[in-house]
Amino acid sequence: IIRSRIVERAYSALLGREAESRTLQLMEEFHRDFREQMVWWADFVAAAARLGVPAPVTSSAMNWYLSVTSRRLTANLVQALRDYFGRHGYQRTDMPGTFTSDWGRG
């Protein structure tokens, strides 16, 4: 059995909550703590990778947290690549509308 303060806090935060609000409640409860530990978290994942030590759960958890708390994600890059290769258009964050670019093709 794993016992830790964070697990006990998570259990208390989620106790009695409806299923659909549990993740949101957990995020609100621990967001500040996660942000404060992000440098350590990233250093740990990087050190494990440098040493050739698999850390799939820690790495996946960190990437999940970053994906649900980031304003812009890698989907922006995918949108740009689709426009580059097929002129599918993209949406900008500074103005409404759909745009396409020359992308230096001449």
Angle between helices 22-50 and 5-14 (to 10 degrees): 150
Exposure string over 56-70, b if 16+ CB within 10 A, otherwise e: eeebeebeebeeeee
Lookup result for tokens 């996660």? 34
Counting Cα atoms < 13 Å in the Cβ hemisphere of 38 gives 11
Domain extents in the chain: 5-70, 76-106
- Which residue did the predictor score with more confidence, 75 or 83? 83
Exposure string over 80-91, b if 16+ CB within 10 A, otherwise e: eeebbeeeeebe
Class of domain 76-106: mainly alpha
Give per-residue pLDDT as tens, 82-97. Answer: 888 888 888 888 899 9
Give per-residue pLDDT as tens, 33-74. Answer: 888 888 999 999 999 999 999 999 999 989 988 887 887 777
Q: Say if pTM beats, i.e. exceeds, 0.75.
A: no
